[in-house]
Amino acid sequence: MRWVLSLVLALAAGLGVLYSLTDGFTVLTAEAARRQTIAEHPRDIPAAVQVLDGAGRQESLNRNLRDDGRVAIVNFFYTRCIALCLAQGSLTEQLQRAIEAEGLQHQLRLISLSFDPRDRADDLSRYAVRMGADSGVWQFLTLTDAAQRSALLDMFGILVVPAPLGEFEHNAAFHVVTPDGRLVRIVDLDDPGWALKAAKSFLPAQTAGRAPQGDQP
């Protein structure tokens, strides 16, 4: 009987650990946990984070979001990536076409953020051309300050691990960010349609699919 009791106690302990790690059995992976946490508790982008664009202009990411005024679908990449980032770029280009096809380019935008300290303005500019990006819809930015880069990646839950030949291993997804600088949703990379639907859910109902008054004839 003693061994039966020991087995029961061991199983109970194991279930307790699993319960804790999976947030009450509601998530089974760290990535799923990250997405659920953001959906329940959106996070604010650190105010100090500065970004550089393909034209060499530098400004705070929060100001970029606020001044633009559109809901953004954000992903993370680096221009030297020859595998995941290219696939991610292709999926983002599909999103660009879907946004334009639905006439949502005045309400939604795409942002690709590089975490590679080697990426500069000309790298972003060349990559944008390579991806077929419409600059009015899809913007490429890079993070130039190491501490700010680390803080932003941590806030988004992006893990970046150096790999051989100057490459990186990293997780990837589409991140929905509102103009006030809040990360509100994370969506699977392989489901751009769902990412678009998630982003549209944060548009004002009366403006979805319509251009601002100043852009109308």
All domains in the chain, ordered by first residue: 2-39 (no CATH), 43-203 (3.40.30.10)
Compute the average pLDDT of residues 104-131: 96
Residue type (1 letter), 102: E
CA within 13 Å, CB half, 65 = 24
How much is the mean pLDDT over the chain? 83
Could you give the maximum distance between any two Cα atoms of the chain, in Å? 84
Is residue 2 over pLDDT 80? no
Greater pLDDT, 168 or 179: 179
50 vs 107: CA distance, rounded Å: 23
Tens of pLDDT, residues 64-96: 999 999 999 999 999 998 777 778 888 999 999
pLDDT score recorded for residue 22: 42
Pairing of strands 108-114, 138-143: parallel
- H helix count then E strand count, the chain: 7, 10
Q: Name the pTM for this structure.
A: 0.81
What is each CA distance from 198 to 66, 186, 191, 192, in whole angstroms? 19, 9, 11, 10
Pairing of strands 108-114, 71-77: parallel
Tens of pLDDT, residues 27-37: 446 778 888 99
pLDDT score recorded for residue 113: 97
pLDDT score recorded for residue 85: 76
Answer left, alpha or beta for residue 203, where phi above 0 means left and psi between -120 and 50 means alpha. Answer: beta
Strand partners, 53: 141
Q: DSSP alpha helices (H): ranges in the chain?
A: 2-21, 30-40, 61-68, 84-101, 121-131, 146-156, 192-200
Is 59 within 8 Å of 70 (Cβ atoms)? no
